[in-house]
Structures are given as structure tokens and as C-alpha cells.
Amino acid sequence: MKKIYLDCNILLDFVLERKPFVKNASLILNLIAQKQCIGVVSPLTIANVYYMARKEKGKKYALEFAKQCQQIFEFCDNSGIALNQAIENYYKDFEDDIHLYSAIHSGIDTLVTRNPKDFLKLDNISIVTPDELLYSLGY
């Protein structure tokens, strides 16, 4: 089963219903919820999404979404190793660097983001857009 790491923007597209991106974000989350692939996120992602959702939709909605995430996602460890690598190998965006190295240290081979150009290209991980992921899964 395909194991994918989701960047913050995918969950934010869903929670904030950002058009036209919400459609693909919804499809990806449904695939994960239906156990057609394994979704992995960082606790940092949930914290960021909670913050934005609370501002836009209220604390109750944001907390409920965080609880739902506990049900469908696996969580990677935002360990000191990933942090150290992000510091040592700074590319364009420190947060994206942390996500990349967290994904790598969690054994993920595919990171899904709407901004692949923001991530350092490495041989051991594919950086794909939601469209590319869905196409690879037959959608």
C-alpha cells in the first residue's frame, strides 16, 4: 500500500475549502480514510492546520478536525535528527525542510504538496502534486 506524507497545504486546502484545490484534497483524504493508501503527517502539520482552522472556523471545528486526524493518519516523529538536517541543509523554506526530512526519516517515498519547487530534490523521495498523486493512483 502506498504510504504518502502530506504537506500542510493539502490539509489547509481541505479545512479552509480553498478553491479549486479542495476537490483534490478531499479525494486524497477520502482515500486515506478508506485505507486505500497510508497517510502520514507531522504533528507540526496538525498544529499549523489547527491554528489556521481556529482563526477561520472556530476552536470547536479546529479541535474536531485534529481529533479526526488522529483517526486516519500515522504521525511521523519530528525528531532532532530531522531538525538538524533541516538546519544543515537549508533550502528555501525552513518548515518545508523539516517536513522533507521528517518524511525521509519515516520511510516515506512520496511527499504530496502543491509547491514541489519549494522542496529540495533528493533521490530517495518523490515530491508530487495532488494531481500527480491522484493520477498515479488511477484517479
- The domains of the chain, with CATH numbers, are 3-136 (3.40.50.1010)
Q: What are phi and psi of 89, to 5 degrees?
A: -120, 40
Cα–Cα distance measured from residue 89 to residue 32, given in angstroms and rounded to the nearest whole number: 31
Nearest to 7 by CA among 122, 139, 133: 133
Higher confidence at residue 81 or residue 78? 81
100 CB-side CA count, 13 A: 27
Does the pLDDT at position 79 exceed 90? Answer: no
Q: Classify residue 77 as left (phi > 0), alpha (psi -120 to 50) or beta.
A: beta
Longest alpha-carbon distance in the chain: 41
Dump pLDDT digits (tens) for 37-68: 999 998 889 999 999 999 999 999 999 999 99
Cβ contact 72:113 at 8 Å:
no
Percent of the chain with pLDDT over 90: 63
Residue 12's H or E segment, with its range, is: helix 8-15
Confidence at residue 78, expressed as pLDDT on a 0 to 100 scale: 66
Dump pLDDT digits (tens) for 1-23: 889 999 999 999 999 999 999 99
